[in-house]
Structure 1
Amino acid sequence: MGRTQRARETLDRLRDVIDRPATELHYTSPYQLLVAVILSAQCTDARVNQETPALFAAYPTVADLAKATPEDIYPYIQSITFPNNKAGYLAKMARQVMDRFDGAIPETPKALQTLTGVGQKTAEVVANVAFDRATLPVDTHVYRVAHRIGLVTRDATTPAKVSAQLKRIIPRSDWGDAHHLLILHGRYTCTARSPQCADCVLTDFCDHYDRLQRLPDPMPALNAQAGRYFCRTCDTYFDEPATHVDRYDIEQTACPRCGSMMVFRTSTGAPTKQPLDFRVND
């Protein structure tokens, strides 16, 4: 299956199981959305949604926020990650909007990125969600899911490269939908740890699922008293493993005697081999 067909099938199937492909951040205006997206960096949407009602009650408009100092803002966001930095970002951003854009949140990604605390992903999310601009932002979920399914190639090693490849295979009219569908799929099904493959509608053509199926089956009834690890290749127990870098440049646990990667943890019987996977490098 080619990547264009795979992308089409992915979006069609995810639309069938995701009722509302939209941001989970709560907002009622472009100003509120911009603030919420800035706060959501390395923080959950659920946490942001808990804290923003009080913040927006205290500062209902960008003009109100522009009058606040970081010290004023901090108590409203102290439970959010990096509250000191984000309080400073919000205070500067609001003043910049007042000074440079006459109090109106800019509508284009390029203009949004001139604001403090607004990177490419934040700018594209706001432009897409608040102003219906055709963007395809790539966060950690989109990056991971796009690679796992096989929508992008392995040399797409940055969010910008992933976005560029996705835009070539997904119609422009579907970019916004694709962004939300892939995020929600990554947040609730194709999770970073222990993906819920049994509940996934994409397994018949997902590269990551195929790699998981090729891992060795667990070995029950191993003798944990004989050692922490067991090598199936040479039938040996040991406590201190060696390492071996596989063809995907992943450092795998290996047998110190024969070098095999067919190694199992005796406490659980699970194989130690790790499948190829993808994370955004911060």
Structure 2
Amino acid sequence: MSSKKPQSMLREASHQIIAGGSAGLVEICLMHPLDVVKTRFQIQRGTSDPTSYKSLGDCFRTIFRREGIFGFYKGILPPIVAETPKRAVKFFTFEQYKKVLNLTPLSPGVALSAAGLGSGLTEALVVNPFEVVKVSLQANRDSFKEQPSSFSQARRIIKTDGFGLKGLNKGLTSTLGRHGVFNMIYFGFYFNVKDAIPTNPDPTLEFLRKFAIGMVSGTISSCVNIPFDVAKSRIQGPQPVPGEIKYRTCFQTMALVYREEGSLPLFTFMESVQQTGALVSAGS
């Protein structure tokens, strides 16, 4: 019995690594240009700056004109390298947290949300160093050919600021908030709604049922965690004054952005998503 349990856990982990890693690789390749645009919007400070992007279309045009098509793929290597361990940690730890929490007097809905929170916090510890390198590369507006490699950038960060909260792990509190909040809402909402809506014997309709629930879960989770993502980008991106650290911690950054720029910059990328939706609607 004791030998079967480790084998079962190892098989479960390997399935999560293969399935999650493959899906994540496709997702990164398709969505990374939008992630670059998102980061550029989040780190800019108001449209009064002549270097700021005025709209989603302006951002796409400017990057393409000045940095070329490969400008949309700046910083793509760190998330690719991190994707397999990130997905494995996310889904495997969710299952383990869920098993432990099912033994507690918590209701199933609360237990699922708590398991999602735990998996998100664990995932954040793994992914944060890769995020620091990625954001620093995405913020660079030089030509793609002139940009340092991911490994060179990581070495530079370590040499200058070390591995700690000022170096390769800066913005950790915001990353913990981003992943913790997202997974807590996503897993809690997804599994509770999925169990509440009856399954469909038709494979196509059943796929659409799960797809729709997952899309709604992801949309709600993303809208709630955007302020954490903005804070992460501000902390990990270039500071307004070189050599002076303005954005230090998650909630300090949120409060500072709100005080100086208002509430809209904390949800800055939602405006871009709305513009995208309007363009798609117009085209259809």
TM-score by shorter chain over 0.5: no
Higher strand share: 1
TM-score (norm 2): 0.28
TM-score, length of structure 1 as denominator length: 0.28
Higher helix share: 2
